[in-house]
Structure 1
Amino acid sequence: MHMWDDWARTARPLNGKSAIVTGAGRGCGRAIARGLAGAGARVCCAARSEKELAETVALIEADGGTAMAFAVDVTDLAAVEAMTVAAVTAFGGLDLLVLSHGVALAVAPIESGDPVDWRRTIEVNLIGSYHCIRAAVPPMKARGAGKIIVVGSGQGHNGTAATSAYASSKAGTWALTRSVAAELIGFNISVNELLPGNVRTQLYDETFAQTVAMTPDGGEPISAKRSHEWLKEPDDVVPLALFMACQPDVGPTAQSFSLMRRL
C-alpha cells in the first residue's frame, strides 16, 4: 500500500462524496474505484462486463466500502444518462467522475489498419468521454462543485507508430478536458487529465504484443525502448488519482498530472 493510500484510508477525506468510475471492471479503473471507496467515497462502478463489475464491487465491499455496479456502453448516450441518474438516485448526488474506460483497436500502420476499428476507438475513447461528462455536469452543478478526472495517455501528446487511432482519441480527450474546464471554471467544477504512463493492464499487454512487428526496424515496440519509463501496476496510479480527487473546490483545472518520467 502506498503512503497516500494509507493516509486516505485513515483520514477518509472523501466521506460523503459520490463518484462514478468508468472502466472499473479491471485495471486502472478498478484500482481507482477501490482507492476512492477506501477514502470514503460511494462509488458507482461502470463498465461493459457485469461479471468484472461484480468482482470490483465485491472487493470494495470486502474492504468496508460502498459501491454499486452499472453495466454500460459509453458510446450509448441514453445508457450513460441512465447510469448517471442511477448513481445520483442511489447516492444523493455526484461529486466525482473518473473516466478510465478505453480501447486500443486498429493498432497498425495507417494504410493497413481496419477503418471500422479506427472509428470504434474514437467512439469509445473520445465520444464516450463526451457522453459521460455531458451527463455528469448537471448533477455537479446542482451540487455546487465537482471534479472530473480524465485518464489520458502520453500517446495523446506524442503519438507513436501504429497507434494513430488511440493517439488521436487521447489527443481529443486532452482537448476536451481543456475546453470543458474553461466552460465549468465558474461552477467550481474542475476538469483535469491524469497521465498514468505504461501500466501493466490487459490493454497495455495487448497493445504491446501487437506493435512488436509494426515498429520501423521490426524490433521492440517503441514504448519498450523508453528505458527511462517505468512499468507500473494499476495500484501505482491510485495515489495520484486520490491527490486529484482531494484538491479544493477552487483548485487546479485544465491541467495534466503525470506519472510519466517524461512525455
Structure 2
Amino acid sequence: MTTTGLDGRSVIVTGAGSGIGRAAALAFAAEGARVVAADLNPGGAAAVVTEIEAAGGTAVSVTGDLSEQAVVDRVTATAVERFGGVDVLVNNAGIMDRMSAVAEVSDAEWERVIRVNLTAPFLLARAVLPHMLAAGRGAIVNTASEASLRGSAAGAAYTASKHGVAGLTKSLAVMYRDKGIRTNAVAPGGTRTAITVDVEAGAHGPAALAAYMGNVGRPAEAEEQAAAIVFLASDAASNINGVILPVDNGWAAV
C-alpha cells in the first residue's frame, strides 16, 4: 500500500497564512511533515503555526515579501536550520490583477503581479534546488491557475504570470527529473478564499471576461486544492512529473 511518505519531511508552504496555503500547511502537518509557513502577513503565518502546534504538529513561521531575494534566503535557511533541509516546496503565494485588458494595464500592476506570481516561485525554486540536489530527492508543487490554461479567466498580467508558472513547472520537471526531483502544479478554478479583485468600473477587461465566467461551476473549498497539492508532493505521485493538474470541477473541460 502506497503512503504519502511525508512524515518527518521538511515542507515550505508560501502564502500559508490564509486560503489554499493555510489549508495546505495544515494538511501537510496532519501527514507528519514539519512546515515552514511563509507569508507576507505576520498574523496569518503565526496563526497557522499555532493551529498546527495545537494539533501536535511542528511548524515555524517566516514573514516577508517573497519577491525579495533576502526573504527567500531567510525562508530557505529556516527550513535547513530548523528541519535539516528542504524536501518539499509549495509555491502557493500569489496576488490577483484587476482583470485589466492589455491596453489598461499599468506598469505598476504588470510588474507587481509578475514579480509576486512568477519571479518569487523562480527565486524559491532556485534557492531550494541545491538542498534537494544534495539529498537526491525533492518535490516542488506550484499553484498555477485556470488562467494558466486559457485567456478568459483573468486579466492580462495574471494570465501571463500563471502561464509563466506552467512553463516554469515544465522546465523544472524536465531539467531535474533524473536528479530525483519532481515538479508539478495545480491549476485551481474558482475557490472560496479571502482573495478579492479590485475591478475598475467601466474597464474593458472585466466586461470582456464576464461572458465566460458562467463556466466556472461549483467553487472549490481550499481544502480540496490542498488535498491535490499534498498528493502531488507525496510518494503516492512518485511517477507524476511536469503535470498541470486542473482542480476546477471540470471547468478546463468546457
Percentage identity across paired residues of the two chains: 31
Matched, 1:31 2:23: yes
**Separation of aligned partners in 2, 1:155 and 1:224:** 12
Name the counterpart of 2:135: 143
Per-residue deviation, 1:105: 2.6
Instruction: State TM-score, norm by structure 1.
Output: 0.87
Higher RCO, 1 or 2 (CA under 8 Å, sep at least 6)? 2
- Give the letter aligned to residue 226 of structure 1: N
Counterpart for residue 68 of structure 1: 60
Residue 128 of structure 1, CA deviation: 0.6
Distance in 1, Cα, partners of 2:42 & 2:13 = 14
Instruction: Identify if the C-alpha distance between structure 1 residues 163 and 148 changes in structure 2 by more than 3 Å, giving closer, same or farther.
Output: same
Instruction: Find the counterpart in structure 1 of residue 171 from structure 2.
Output: 179
SS across alignment from 2:142: strand
User: Does 2:237 match 1:245?
Assistant: no
Task: Map Cα deviations across residues 71-112 of structure 1 (whole Å, 9 max, x no partner).
Answer: 121111122012101111100111100011001134322222
Of 189, 192, 196, 2:188 maps to: 196
| Deviations 1:191-212 (CA, angstroms, capped at 9, x unpaired) | 0011121111122xx22x6288
What one-letter code is carried by the residue in structure 2 that aligns with 1:165? A
Structure 1 Cα separation of the partners of residues 238 and 208 of structure 2:
47
SS in 1 for 2:185: strand
Q: CA separation in 2, counterparts of 1:184 and 1:54?
A: 33
1:172 aligned counterpart, secondary structure: helix
Q: RMSD of the alignment, in Å?
A: 2.3
Contact 1:25 1:52 in 2 (8 A): yes
- Does residue 103 (structure 1) correspond to residue 95 (structure 2)? The answer is yes
In structure 2, stretches of 5+ residues that fail to align are: none
- Cα distance in structure 2, aligned partners of 1:196 and 1:65: 27
Aligned residue type for 1:62: A
Counterparts in 2 of 1:224 and 1:143: CA distance versus 1, 3 Å:
same
The 1:190/1:220 distance shift into structure 2, 3 A limit, reads closer
Q: Structure 1 residues 93 and 123, CA, compared in 2 at 3 Å: closer, same or farther?
A: same
Report the 3-state secondary structure (helix = DSSP H, G, I; strand = E; otherwise coil) of the residue aligned with 1:202. coil
TM superposition shift of 1:181: 1.2
Matches within 5 A, 1:79-228: 79-160=71-152, 163-203=155-195, 206-207=196-197, 210=199, 214=203, 218=207, 221-222=210-211, 224-226=213-215
The partner residue of 2:243 within 255, 258, 261 is 255
Mark the CA change 1:241 to 1:67 in structure 2 (over 3 Å): closer, same or farther. same
Cα drift, residue 247 of structure 1: 2.9
- Are the aligned partners of 1:106 and 1:118 in contact in 2 as well (CA < 8 Å)? no
Instruction: Number of aligned residue pairs: give it.
Output: 250
Q: Which whole-Å CA distance do the structure 2 matches of 1:41 and 1:14 have between them?
A: 5
1:32/1:238 contact within 8 Å kept:
yes
Offset of 1:124 from its aligned partner?
A: 0.6
1-structure distance, mates of 2:127, 2:161: 20
Q: Is the 8 A contact 2:4 2:236 kept in 1?
A: no
**TM-score of the two chains, using structure 2 as the length reference:** 0.90
Counterpart of 2:152 in 1: which secondary structure?
coil
